[in-house]
Amino acid sequence: MYMYSGHDSTISNILLALGVWEPQLPVYNIMVLIELHRTLDSGYGVKVFLRNTTAVAPHPLTIPGCEQLCPYDTFLQLTSQVVLKDLDTACKVDDPDFVVPTAAPP
């Protein structure tokens, strides 16, 4: 299991990238769950849930072009436009005077 923490803008951007964002002000403790499931045919699928209140359980979201359990290959295809393919190119700095900052001491 992997868990990541983010800000409300991170949550809204993930949901926007998946095509399931309903414009709203993200509430405190909003949470997105992205689950990877093994299917009966030994394949994989992805489920997405949103919890925007602590009063009820997270509710499932359906990615456009998918069912609630989105086949993994379909999920990869549908998200391919928002996933970086070449991190080195995306993070390249063109300023010849730029100096990479050193890590701060602990």
Please count the structural domains in the chain: 1
Residue 101 lies in a domain: no
Residue 105 lies in a domain: no
Range of the domain at 70: 8-90
Is the per-residue pLDDT at 63 higher than 90? Answer: yes
Angle between helices 8-18 and 72-79 (to 10 degrees): 110
Residue-wise over 44-78: b if at least 16 C-beta within 10 A, else e?
ebbbbebbbeeeeeeeebebeebeebbebeebeeb
Beta bridge partners of 45: 37, 71
Residue 99 lies in a domain: no
- For 72-106, what is each residue's pLDDT tens digit? 999 999 999 988 888 888 888 888 898 888 887 77
Query: So what's the pLDDT on residue 55?
Result: 86
Contact predicate 39/69, CB 8 Å: yes
Q: For a pLDDT cut of 70, what percent of the chain falls above it?
A: 100
Residue 98 lies in a domain: no
Residue 2 lies in a domain: no
Residue 72 lies in a domain: yes
Residue 103 lies in a domain: no
Residue 43 lies in a domain: yes
